[in-house]
Amino acid sequence: MDIVMLLWVGLGNPGKKYENQRHNIGFMCVDRIAAEYSFSPWREKMSAYICEGKIAGQKILLVKPQSFMNKSGGPVTQIAHFFKIPTNSIYVFYDDIDLKSGQLKIKNGGGHGGHNGLRDIDAHMNKDYWRIRMGIGRPMDKAQVHNWVLGNFTADDTNNWLEPLLKAIILEIALLADRNTERFMSRVAWRAPLPIEQTIEKS
């Protein structure tokens, strides 16, 4: 018998001009999950796109807020309430400049780390949801952080770590559906090792 439906949220900004930006890696991830696991077509609901499916027998609701990154909390909270999904069954995929490019870490609860999407979610709901941190690295010059986050992935990014990371997530996503977060993290890291320049880069 299925446990409560899980809510997997990908964060990003809506619109063609944003779709290949580093800030939109959350959208990219849930789009890939929906396509690879034959979820229902995306439909609009409560200022978001949502679709449903099953992975390893577990019901999953995918969500892409369409209210722009810094207003993500409203749609996520409304959808969670509508479908009666508790916060500890919510998983948020998002970009993290404090992790090396291609690195993935998961934690339950905590702060927003300066991420505007998480900041707004935190303002709308309890903080005991799961954070799936997807590293995009950071520029050497702190003054360039804004441009870096809103910059497009390069061909090298895509080939060297983005595509391997997304493929690894897809291959191991059943572990996340089973709430086995530690095993999921370790298997993704094994399937998508960091590029050599990332392993020697200072944190």
Q: How does pLDDT run across 86-98, given as a tens digit for each residue?
A: 999 999 999 999 9
Containing 54, the helix (H) or strand (E) segment is: strand 48-55
23-37, 80-94, 128-142, 174-188: segment of lowest average pLDDT:
128-142
State the pLDDT at residue 199: 44
Has residue 69 got a pLDDT over 90? no
State the pLDDT at residue 73: 92
Residue 1 is assigned to a structural domain of this protein: no
Q: Which residue has the higher pLDDT, 36 or 70?
A: 36
Residue 153 is assigned to a structural domain of this protein: yes
pLDDT band at 117 (very low <50, low <70, confident <90, very high): confident
Q: Which structural domain, as residue segments, surrounds residue 196? A: 6-200
* Percent of the chain at pLDDT exceeding 70: 94
State the pLDDT at residue 51: 98
Residue 177 is assigned to a structural domain of this protein: yes
Other C-beta atoms closer than 10 Å to the C-beta of 24 total: 26
Report which of 136, 142, 184 is spatially closest to residue 160, judged by C-alpha positions: 136
Residues that are catalytic: 23
Q: What average pLDDT does range 30-53 have in this prediction? A: 97
Q: In this structure, what CATH number is given to the domain that contains residue 145?
A: 3.40.50.1470
State the pLDDT at residue 107: 94
Beta bridge partners of 6: 60
Number of domains observed in the structure of the chain: 1
Has residue 112 got a pLDDT over 50? yes
Q: Read off the amino acid at residue 75.
A: P
Structure tokens at 122: 């935190």
Q: What is the pTM of this model?
A: 0.92
State the pLDDT at residue 97: 92
Has residue 4 got a pLDDT over 90? no
3-state SS class at 104: strand
pLDDT band at 198 (very low <50, low <70, confident <90, very high): low
